[in-house]
């Protein structure tokens, strides 16, 4: 069986801030159908790396390719049609409805002076329904809770319909049921074999459950990557977080607790 072409590739990638290097010589390949978790301590460079992978920050060395092309060659509009970016936080400066905010995701697909069509509105409404905000389409975004705003950000990304989702802490502000629902939704996106997800997570048990691969950032420039079952272990996590962890499980799922 032929493997799908890579959606994201890095060669010799070095990422850091000033003299602090978060990763060096990173060779990463993400293919359609894969879900990659990025794990690491606070300050290990997870968000910085993700912004480099999104083409929003220049690496210190190496290159990032989106479907075999550089971001510079693709241009902003073509890049936005292929990859979606969810930052840690966003704010709405102006009053707008939930539906209008979700529709922003369609802008990369519209011509310069083109208005959103009925089809665009239908896509946005489907995305809102997928995150449980279908009944709030006409609500002002400034009246939403933090968790509702986070789900709206995810809905905007679904409306954008990229092939590669880059998500920085997608579970932030979400209660437990919405955390699981969001991860199930993202996992479902990759099952079509056309889409991939890369996400920063803080709970290794959820990463092991929902992500097929993992990338560990140790904060000193070294990394470890591979299949989640091989990379997310008590030994590697104890080194990663600087605290001994032990694994518990029921034969189907694995969780990690302080030893």
How high is the pLDDT of residue 185?
A: 97
Sequence-distant (≥ 6) Cβ neighbours of residue 95 within 8 angstroms: 140, 141, 142
How high is the pLDDT of residue 4?
A: 75
13 vs 60: CA distance, rounded Å:
8
Residue 3 has pLDDT above 80, yes or no: no
Q: Is 191 buried (19+), middle (13-18) or exposed (0-12) by CB count in 10 A?
A: exposed
**Distances, alpha carbon 226 to alpha carbons 35, 74, 80, 93, 151, in Å:** 11, 29, 27, 40, 29
Label residue 249 by pLDDT band (50, 70, 90).
confident
Label residue 193 by pLDDT band (50, 70, 90).
confident
> What mean pLDDT do residues 220-227 have?
97
188 vs 154: CA distance, rounded Å:
14
205 vs 249: CA distance, rounded Å:
10
Residue 108 has pLDDT above 60, yes or no: yes
Q: Check: CATH 3.40.50.300 for 6-67+164-258? A: yes
The residues of the chain that CATH labels 3.40.50.300 are 6-67+164-258
CA neighbours closer than 13 Å in the CB half-sphere of residue 218? 16
How high is the pLDDT of residue 32?
A: 95
Label residue 85 by pLDDT band (50, 70, 90).
very high
How high is the pLDDT of residue 1?
A: 56
22 vs 60: CA distance, rounded Å:
10
CA neighbours closer than 13 Å in the CB half-sphere of residue 101? 28
pLDDT tens per residue, range 18-32: 889 999 999 999 999
Check residue 118 and give left, alpha or beta (phi > 0: left; psi -120 to 50: alpha). alpha
Which has the minimum average pLDDT: 38-42, 47-51, 58-62, 192-196? 192-196
Given a contact cutoff of 8 angstroms between Cβ atoms, the answer to whether 147 and 174 are in contact is: yes
- Percent of the chain residues topping a pLDDT of 70: 99
How high is the pLDDT of residue 90?
A: 74
DSSP the chain: -PPPPEEEEEEEEEEEETTEEEEEEE--EEETT-EEEEEE-TTSSHHHHHHHHTTSS--SEEEEEETTB-HHHH-HHHHHHHEEEE-S----SS--BHHHHHHGGGGGGS-TTPPP-HHHHHHHHHHHHHTT-GGGTTSBGGGS-HHHHHHHHHHHHHHH--SEEEEESTTTT--HHHHHHHHHHHHHHHTTSS-EEEEE-S-HHHHHHH-SEEEEE-SSB-EEEEEHHHHS-HHHHHHHHTS-EEEEE-SS-EEEEE-
- pTM listed for this prediction: 0.95
How high is the pLDDT of residue 156?
A: 97
124 vs 134: CA distance, rounded Å:
10
Mean pLDDT of all residues belonging to the chain = 94
Given a contact cutoff of 8 angstroms between Cβ atoms, the answer to whether 256 and 205 are in contact is: yes
Residue 93 has pLDDT above 70, yes or no: no
């Amino acid at each position: 069986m032929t493997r799908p072409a890579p959606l994201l590739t890095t060669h010799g990638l070095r990422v850091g801030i000033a003299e602090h290097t978060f990763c060096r010589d990173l060779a990463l390949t993400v293919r359609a159908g894969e879900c990659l978790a990025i794990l690491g301590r606070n300050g290990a460079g997870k968000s910085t790396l993700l912004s480099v992978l999104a083409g929003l920050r220049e690496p210190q060395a190496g290159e990032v390719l989106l479907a075999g092309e550089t971001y510079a060659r693709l241009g902003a509009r073509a890049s936005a049609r292929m990859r979606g970016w969810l930052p840690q936080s966003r704010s709405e400066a102006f009053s707008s409805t939930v539906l209008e905010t979700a529709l922003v995701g369609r802008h990369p697909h519209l011509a310069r002076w083109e208005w959103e069509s009925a089809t665009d509105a239908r896509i946005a409404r489907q995305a809102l329904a997928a995150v449980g905000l279908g009944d709030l389409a006409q609500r002002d975004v400034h009246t939403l809770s933090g968790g509702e705003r986070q789900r709206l950000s995810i809905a905007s990304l679904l409306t954008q319909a990229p092939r590669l989702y880059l998500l920085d802490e997608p579970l932030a502000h979400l209660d437990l049921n919405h955390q699981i629902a969001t991860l199930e939704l993202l996992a479902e996106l990759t099952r079509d074999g056309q889409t991939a997800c890369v996400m920063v997570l803080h709970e290794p048990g959820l990463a092991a459950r929902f992500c097929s691969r993992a990338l560990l950032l140790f904060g000193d420039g070294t990394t470890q990557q591979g299949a989640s079952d091989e990379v997310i272990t008590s030994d590697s996590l104890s080194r990663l977080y600087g605290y001994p962890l032990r694994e518990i499980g029921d034969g189907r799922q694995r969780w990690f607790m302080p030893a």
